[in-house]
Every structure is written in structure tokens, then in C-alpha cells.
Chain A
């Protein structure tokens, strides 16, 4: 059994090579991405936590089966995000679930709002927080997706392009439209953010 200490100083790409020789190393990769990917899946899909975990399992198995397709010239994180994204979208379409309001961490929501609304710092009332989440969840998936990747996951344009398999120019356009759309929706609901 491979222990996590054996992976500490290794890059994702090095662990991929090791995993192809010994499947136990795959645990290190999964551990590195488990939380991040589950959060990402839940945020873009609005699925319940149980459904999100099922999707993550499916994504990890898909990634393992396709490990030989991973190009070492690319970043593993983009590749695994891309698989998680595609698995979520197909599961989401299959299930046609009713939207649920998944709770976000305050810092994630603040990051998103700060970048979208160009506000320095924001404090949210409990009621407003729920309201804003509802608005975000009602945005079209393509907008919600890029906003989360850019402002919550902190990915740059090239990374988002590799995850969503879209040209960088298209990613830029999507982000601008998504910000505009979110601003409009917030304005429509008359939500004002109190600056700290």
C-alpha cells in the first residue's frame, strides 16, 4: 500500500506515471483532488451531496480508465477537472434534477462577488446570501461554470480553456457575459452590497 508521504514531493504528472505501474499511487491523486472536485461538481450542478459523490466516483474511475490518454505536456489538474465537468454535465442531463440550493462557503461567494461587482469587500446578510446563491444557481450553466472556475477555483483563461475544451477567446467572452448577466440579475432583485 502506498502511503501519502511517498507522494508528498511528487508532481501530479509523476504520480500518473507511477500509477500506471502501481494502481495504489492513484489514491494520492484522488486525495489531492477529492475535496476540490466535489465542491466544483456541487457548485455547477446543484445536485445533492450524495449525487455529487457518486459523480465524483464515476469521474475518478473514468479518469483511471483513460489514464493512458493523459498527455504529460498538459496539467493533470485541468485534465481531471475536464473529466469531472463532462461527467457532471452528462449526469445532470440524465437526471434532470430539481435545483437545490447548495451552500457555499462565504469566502467562495465573496470571491465571486468581489470579482464580478468590482467591490473591495462585501458583507452579506444571511438573507441576502441565500438570495444571491439562488440567483447564481439560476444563471445558465455555461455562465455559472466559467464564473466558478475563474473566481472560485482561481483558474486562468488557459486552464479554463483546457477544462471546458473551448478556445481562450470564447472563455474570455463567456466570462464577460457571465459577469454582466450576474450584475443585471442582482440589480433586478435590488440587492445592494454593504461595503466594509
Chain B
């Protein structure tokens, strides 16, 4: 039988083996916590985007989309951001179990803890208007981003199914009809018969709106219900004079999206 301990000590001395310095382990440990923290923050960004996209869609119009409610949910879920949320939660988990005592917690406890932190922070970011700013940056700077995310534009630009969105460019036509430039820059004559104007809006040039109704032909659309594009936008009646009212000074910017 070998005298292992003496052999090892001899090897350590002969090969001048030294313990790795303390700072190496301290740095490594901080690095693991840093990646964990960054993953949690990125996960919260992803959750704030999930919340933002879910909140901005109109969920009461699923029957116009022609699908059941569950199928509408299935079509509309922000998968891209959900994948990012899962990915960052996974990275956070991986780093957490590599911290000194991370292995002591069960997988489910760590995942729940990561998700709770990401959801809490993400909700805060959403109410802070951060997710809208992030959405704008992604829409403008990331090619094909809009194709990856189911947006209000996509939801409302289905004239054949009775959904249309655009900006009023001309008013004062007979029978309260007006002209709308849709989001794909097509002109539409909107028949405004017994339409319900939701959100105290009224036809004003420059107003961006969403319409529910019936397609008559390629240029004519009969509206049944009209909503302001932005959920926090509306009109006050003051002394018989209508004022289009925007909320940006009073509410966080997220309320201004569709």
C-alpha cells in the first residue's frame, strides 16, 4: 500500500503547487451572483414586456377575429418575451445553484423565487412606463421584431373580419361620415350611421381610432363601434365645445398605447 499522503505532499512540493489565491474565488463568486442578478433583471424586462403586450391588446373582440377565446389567447400570447423570460429564469437558476449554498434549495423553490422577483420587478417596470419605451426601441431598431410579436396593429388590421384602425384625415361629410387613412396608408370612407363612440371620442382630424364594423368594399367600411386608439385618450365636452383630451401629463405613458 502506498503512503498516499506523503506522496501527495512530495508532489505538491516538487511541482511547486500552490493554492489558488483567495481573490480568484471571491471574484468567481461575485461573478456568479452578478450573472444571477443580471438574469433576474433581464427576466423582469421580459415579464414587463409580456404584461405590456397582453395589456395593450383588446381581449373583448375575439369573436370578430373569428376564433374562440382560448384560440385568441393562443394566437396573441407574446411568445418571444415568454421565451426570454424562461431563458433568463433558467440562467438565473443555473447561477444560483453554483453559489456556495445554492444547492441546498430545491429546484422548484429556486425557480419560484426567481419568477417572483422577475414578476415583481417586471410589474414595477411596466407601471413605470419602461416596457413601452423598450417596445418602441425594439420596434424601431430590431428588424423583423414586429413580425415576431402579435401587436395591436396586427389585431386591428383585419377589415375583412370587421376590424380596422387608422387616423381620421377628413370630416364633415354627409351623415357624419369621414375619411380614414388606415395603418397601411389606404384611404377608407367610413360610414358613421348609428355608431357607438367609446371613450368619449368624436370624429376629429388627426385622431387615431379603432373601428369595429363591416367591410362594404375595398374603400368603404361601415362602423358599428369606434374606440380611441390609445386607451387613455378621450374627449371632454366643455360648454358645448369638444376638446380632445390626451393624458400624457397625468398618466404614465403606457396608458397611451393602443
| B2: nearest chain-A partner, CB-CB | A53
Q: Contact between B11 and A57 (Cβ–Cβ < 8 Å)? A: yes
CA distance A165 to B104 in the complex (A): 7
Tell me, yes or no, whether B147 is within 8 Å of chain A by CB. no
Do the beta carbons of B11 and A24 come within 8 Å of each other?
Answer: no
**Bound form: Cα–Cα A61–B12 in Å:** 7
Per DSSP, are chain A's interface residues mostly helix, strand or loop, or mixed? helix
Min CB distance A169 to B, Å, is 6
Say which size band chain A's interface belongs to.
Answer: 20 to 34
Q: Is A67 an interface residue (CB 8 A)?
A: yes
Interface residues of B in 17-35 (CB under 8 A from A): 17-22, 24-25
Q: B6 to A69, Cβ gap below 8 A?
A: no
Chain B residues closer than 8 Å to A61, beta-carbon distance: 8, 11-12, 17
- A110 and B7 CA atoms in complex are apart in Å by 33
Query: Is residue A23 contacting chain B, with contact meaning CB distance below 8 A?
Result: yes
A92 to B9, CA, bound (A): 24
Q: A30-B9, A71-B100 are in contact. Are A65 and B17 (CB under 8 A)?
A: yes
Bound Cα distance A26, B19 (Å): 11
Q: Closest CB-CB distance, B111 to chain A, in whole Å?
A: 13
B191-202 interface bits toward A, Cβ cutoff 8 Å, 1 = contact, 0 = none: 000000000000
Cβ–Cβ contact A167 & B19, under 8 A? no
Q: Determine if B106 is an interface residue (Cβ-Cβ < 8 Å).
A: yes
Using Cβ atoms and an 8 Å threshold, which residues of chain A touch B25? Answer: 66, 68-69
A51 within 8 A of B: no
* Distance (whole angstroms) from the CB of B254 to the closest CB of chain A: 40
B20 near A169: Cβ-Cβ < 8 Å: no
Q: Tell me the number of A-to-B contacts counted with CB atoms below 8 Å.
A: 66
B12 touches A26 (CB 8 A): yes
A47 to B106, CA, bound (A): 32
The reply to whether the CB of B13 lies closer than 8 angstroms to some CB of chain A is: yes
- Interfacial chain B residues near A168, Cβ < 8 Å: 104
Bound-state CA distance A65–B100 (Å) is 17
8 Å CB contact of B4 from A38, A64, A166, A169: A38
Interface check A170, CB cutoff 8 A: yes
Whether A68 pairs with B22 at a CB distance below 8 angstroms is yes
Contact A66 B103 (CB under 8 A): no
Contact of A165 among B8, B22, B24, B103 (CB under 8 A): B103
Question: Are A31 and B5 in contact, CB atoms less than 8 angstroms apart?
Answer: yes
The answer to whether A53 and B4 touch across the interface, beta carbons within 8 angstroms, is yes
- B20 touching A167, Cβ below 8 Å: no
A86 to chain B, nearest CB (A): 12
Whether B216 sits at the interface, judged by CB under 8 Å, is no
Interface 1/0s, chain B 207-244, versus A by CB < 8 A?
Answer: 00000000000000000000000000000000000000
- What is the interface of chain A, defined by CB distance below 8 A to chain B? 20, 23-24, 26-27, 30-31, 34, 38, 49, 53, 56-57, 60-61, 64-69, 71, 161, 165-170
A-binding residues in B (CB < 8 A): 1-2, 4-9, 11-13, 17-22, 24-25, 100, 103-106
10 closest A-B pairs by beta carbon, nearest first, are A30-B5, A165-B103, A68-B22, A67-B19, A69-B25, A60-B8, A167-B106, A31-B5, A27-B9, A68-B19
